[in-house]
Chain A
């Protein structure tokens, strides 16, 4: 009995092999396309001005999803306020200041671990520290802080990469003109690295905007038919709302569910697209 390898010439094996690889890639890619199209087609009929701007009514079975949209916007904004300055500063430290020693290695290990901690564990941590220990309660503040720490590793690692891609000669020239280290970073390096930083920030926030588990016990409200008044208020949020209406509310009209998932998808895809556009434009413009 001859094996397949003996039956075919190496070139035929290669052609057959590549054909199979291509098929498997299609198997990977098709569900992604199918999911997005499916949501688009089923969700479009639900989208209307009222759906986007009205409060939910009748136990969420009618009306709109306005507070969930606003809530997700607030949470994303809150996350950005805490995680962007801290993340960028931490990346500046790693890229520009940190000596190559054990402490720096420890920081890197910490960042790797932060990025691997399950999102629901962040939820527990947020509950323990922000909600209970610091008495922030179930609030936008607690949820944003929890999401910020979860987002930090993404922002730090992409920003560090962006900073490192600025050529060393830029630093030399600037320092040789008599500037301080911080002036060089602030006026030369950060502006040059800005597109890369923005891309990382957006990708990090995109993940935060879509997360449910970390906000479950730290700030998400099951049903709140009004807008939050202050950062210490709980809030509805799109991902949690989708979870609630697809599993917890009996007799939920299917159209509202599809509409909600479409809005969440658009929110996420827009951020994804923005990141891609910024990155490719910066790449095209770059002259070094």
Chain B
């Protein structure tokens, strides 16, 4: 009986341990399969043409630069929208809002986080795009700007929830000390609480960037899918094509093993590495913060 118990305990412990380590396995598997299908792109086309400025797969032009820049333009636009809105919403929820205001705002932000990106893309096509075309008098509303607005909405919940956490984790004594010195709540927010939470806010923005650059469907539906080099500020008002949208829209039509197929996987590697860098940076920022606050409190 006892022996049986011990054996069962042993087996279960191993199962749990393996499950625990499975995440490492999955990250490695993902990277391995991306490399396996994507690296042959370097054989099919030269490195110079891979980082060229022309994406026209039918004639074997696989320059991914316009796609990379397209992603960056759209993401930058999204940040201009989501950082101020998200950060201020987080500050308001954490520092100013009354109970009932919180009860309304928090579920709304959660609802936004749960909206599938196709739903946003759909509303983008039917409402936002025609509006932009008429309002800004553009030849087409399918622009980087439309993508930025939708991505801004998609990144807001990430930014709000993580910066709110960061603000909430600022010790109460900071605020009390500031108020006791005669500062108003307004001054306390900007001069004590927010500076104390700044690494958390930075993490929030980083993760917002990661969320925005990896988003696919909404962007694909409203940015007009034109793989051209974005130029200057006007690029916001022209159609673009992001890396994610290129993979999603072209993968269905390529033959497995063709150069085009490999290049699409190569773009996947670029996205993977990018998200790796963003996430490791973000988590090391918040780790530093934890270490520092542990030092302060001890």
Q: Which chain A residues have a beta carbon within 8 Å of chain B's beta carbons?
A: 10-11, 13-14, 17-18, 21-22, 24-25, 27-29, 31-33, 35-36, 38-39, 86, 89-90, 92-94, 97-98, 103, 106-125, 127-129, 132-133, 149, 152-153, 156, 180-182, 203, 206-207, 209-213, 216-217, 239-240, 242-243, 246-247, 254, 257, 261, 264-265, 268-269, 271-272, 276
> B111 touches which one: A13, A261, A269 (CB < 8 A)?
A269
B92 at the A/B interface (Cβ < 8 Å)? yes
B20 touches A35 (CB 8 A): no
Q: Shortest CB–CB separation between residue B211 and chain A, in angstroms?
A: 8
Q: Shortest CB–CB separation between residue B114 and chain A, in angstroms?
A: 5
Q: Shortest CB–CB separation between residue A282 and chain B, in angstroms?
A: 17
A125 touches B105 (CB 8 A): no
B23 touches A111 (CB 8 A): yes
Known contacts: A21-B91, A107-B20, A243-B221. The answer to whether A116 contacts B278 by CB under 8 A is yes
* Subset of 30 A-B contacts with CB under 8 Å: A10-B187, A17-B186, A22-B96, A25-B93, A29-B89, A35-B119, A94-B20, A97-B17, A110-B26, A112-B280, A114-B23, A116-B278, A119-B214, A120-B248, A120-B268, A121-B34, A121-B247, A124-B247, A125-B29, A149-B30, A152-B26, A210-B114, A210-B119, A212-B216, A213-B216, A216-B248, A217-B252, A239-B118, A243-B122, A246-B122
Nearest-CB residue, chain B, relative to A210: B116
- Which chain B residues lie closer than 8 Å to A113 at the CB level? 27, 275-276, 279-280
CA distance A13 to B256 in the complex (A): 63
Q: Chain B 79-114 against A: per-residue CB contact (8 Å), 1 yes, 0 no?
A: 000001110110111001100010011011111101
A128 touches B33 (CB 8 A): yes
- Which chain B residues lie closer than 8 Å to A109 at the CB level? 280, 283
B37 touches A128 (CB 8 A): yes
Q: Chain B 219-259 against A: per-residue CB contact (8 Å), 1 yes, 0 no?
A: 00100000000000000000000001001100110001000
> B248 touches which one: A11, A33, A112, A213 (CB < 8 A)?
A213
Known contacts: A93-B20, A118-B215. The answer to whether A29 contacts B26 by CB under 8 A is no
> B275 touches which one: A92, A116, A242 (CB < 8 A)?
A116
B107 touches A242 (CB 8 A): no
CA distance A213 to B219 in the complex (A): 12
Q: Chain B 144-176 against A: per-residue CB contact (8 Å), 1 yes, 0 no?
A: 000000000100100000000000000000000
B19 touches A89 (CB 8 A): yes
- Which chain B residues lie closer than 8 Å to A216 at the CB level? 248, 251-252
B193 at the A/B interface (Cβ < 8 Å)? no
CA distance A33 to B117 in the complex (A): 16
Q: Which chain B residues have a beta carbon within 8 Å of chain A's beta carbons?
A: 5, 8-9, 12-13, 15-17, 19-24, 26-27, 29-30, 33-34, 36-37, 84-86, 88-89, 91-93, 96-97, 101, 104-105, 107-112, 114-123, 125-127, 153, 156, 184-187, 207, 210, 213-217, 221, 244, 247-248, 251-252, 256, 264-265, 268, 271-272, 275-276, 278-280, 282-283
A118 touches B213 (CB 8 A): yes
Q: Shortest CB–CB separation between residue A100 and chain B, in angstroms?
A: 13
B216 touches A132 (CB 8 A): no
Not counting A24-B85, A113-B27, A254-B126, a sample of 12 additional A-B residue pairs whose C-beta atoms are within 8 angstroms of each other reads A29-B89, A32-B111, A39-B123, A89-B19, A107-B24, A120-B248, A121-B34, A152-B26, A153-B23, A213-B216, A217-B252, A265-B119
> A210 touches which one: B91, B118, B213, B252 (CB < 8 A)?
B118
SS of A interface (majority): helix
A272 touches B111 (CB 8 A): yes
Nearest-CB residue, chain A, relative to B17: A93
> A28 touches which one: B20, B85, B123 (CB < 8 A)?
B85
Known contacts: A10-B184, A28-B89. The answer to whether A125 contacts B30 by CB under 8 A is yes
B26 touches A272 (CB 8 A): no
B265 touches A128 (CB 8 A): yes
- Which chain A residues lie closer than 8 Å to B34 at the CB level? 121, 124-125, 128
CA distance A264 to B115 in the complex (A): 9
Q: Shortest CB–CB separation between residue B230 and chain A, in angstroms?
A: 20
- Which chain A residues lie closer than 8 Å to B36 at the CB level? 128
Nearest-CB residue, chain B, relative to A111: B23
CA distance A210 to B244 in the complex (A): 17
B117 touches A212 (CB 8 A): yes
Q: Shortest CB–CB separation between residue A252 and chain B, in angstroms?
A: 12
Nearest-CB residue, chain B, relative to A115: B279
Most buried by B among A125, A153, A271: A125
A13 touches B89 (CB 8 A): no
CA distance A27 to B264 in the complex (A): 38
Q: Shortest CB–CB separation between residue B1 and chain A, in angstroms?
A: 12
- Which chain A residues lie closer than 8 Å to B121 at the CB level? 243, 246
